[in-house]
Chain A
Amino acid sequence: MKMQYLSVLLLMSLLPVANLQASQADHVTATHAWIRLLPANLPASGYVMLQNMGTSTAVLVSAHSTTYASVMLHESTTGSGGMSSMNAVGKLAIPAQGKAELAPAGYHLMLEHASHMIKAGDTVGITLDFADGSQLPVQFLVRPANAADPN
């Protein structure tokens, strides 16, 4: 009897916390996910609208994909002198009941070293990693280089 009780306790301690309470990824929905494809295996960028339905902030920390060897969270900025530059970003917070947009000329996923030829019309899976270790797999639609951004 006592042995049984102990083993239940042991079993419970082994369960990951994420399974006991809802994770950050559980509260985030991703829409308008697309990739602007560039020719000749040049770095491409991925865009997505993230909405947090939860009551606490969700923090995007990275992303990964089986299709691209390198996926980085980046931000483009244009300074007062009209200088445009790009920087790696460590995290992006999505406020509770709020949204964060990865869109042209702002936050984006920089995608490099595709494992195979990708063409417009394909979908590419990219998994978003959150601060609590939870993950959100998202299907990105591949659009041609000159696609006008959706409004």
Chain B
Amino acid sequence: MKCSRLLRLVILSFAVAASALLAACNKDAQQPWQLTDISGHMPDLAFRLTDDHGQTVTAADYRGKITLLYFGYTHCPDVCPLTLAHLHVVMQRLGKLADHVRILFVTVDPARDTPAVLHDYVNAFDPRAVGLTGAPADIEALTKRYRAAFTREPGKSDDSYDVSHSSGIYIFDASGKARLLATPADGQDKLTHDLQLLLSSGGAP
């Protein structure tokens, strides 16, 4: 008797869960984006940094392009190169449209990542990748603006250390509005799909 009541309860909770799942699916069907939509939840792209040619640049210099903002450092041999290699594949899949997209690789290790080091590094991945460095305070302000974080880990010596860092990729439209957030777990298909959609809608909201 007690058992069948428990069974009914289990069936009922399954039904509730299933309908919730269905509702979620229906919502997803209307939602065109495969990545996380951050429109209205993150501030517009804004910074004043030094690019990998040693030029001072601001976010305004990239208006008209869709930008992919990623925080990393060149002495990271595994996750940062993997992310940039994935973004390169996405750029290749976009074909000519990739000319309207820029990858902004902002170093969280400005002590070692000079414009020259960054230049060699980003160009090893994609010609449309830009390396950005700057004053530690400016870089920290930019990470905080997007609720990203980084921590320098204790190392073997002053020039041998690792930096833990947020792994998200922030996507801004051509007017600098924050639109989407990708994680490394989001595959190339999702990134390509959403960038194509963003490009076809003119990149504007």
Interface residues of A (CB under 8 A from B): 36, 38-40, 42-45, 74, 76, 78, 81-86, 104-105, 108, 110-111, 144-149
Contacts and interface: CB of A to CB of B under 8 A. Distances in A.
Contact of A76 (B79, B88, B123): B79
Given A105-B78, A105-B184, A108-B77, A82 B166 contact: yes
A39 B124 CA distance: 7
26 contacts: A36-B81, A38-B77, A39-B124, A40-B117, A40-B120, A40-B121, A42-B74, A42-B75, A42-B77, A74-B78, A83-B149, A83-B164, A84-B79, A85-B162, A86-B78, A86-B79, A86-B162, A105-B79, A108-B77, A110-B78, A111-B77, A144-B124, A145-B84, A145-B125, A146-B125, A148-B89
Contacts of A38: 74, 77, 81, 121, 124
Contacts of A43: 75, 77
B123 to A, nearest CB: 8
A78 B167 contact: yes
Contacts of B153: 85
A79 to B, nearest CB: 8
B183 interface: yes
Nearest to A78: B167
B168 interface: yes
A104 B82 contact: yes
5 residue pairs, one from A and one from B, having the closest CB atoms: A85-B164, A145-B124, A45-B77, A39-B120, A84-B167
Contacts of A44: 77
A76 B120 CA distance: 24
Given A83-B149, A105-B79, A39 B167 contact: no
Nearest to A84: B167
Contacts of A74: 78
B85 to A, nearest CB: 5
A76 B83 CA distance: 13
Contact of A39 (B76, B82, B121, B151): B121
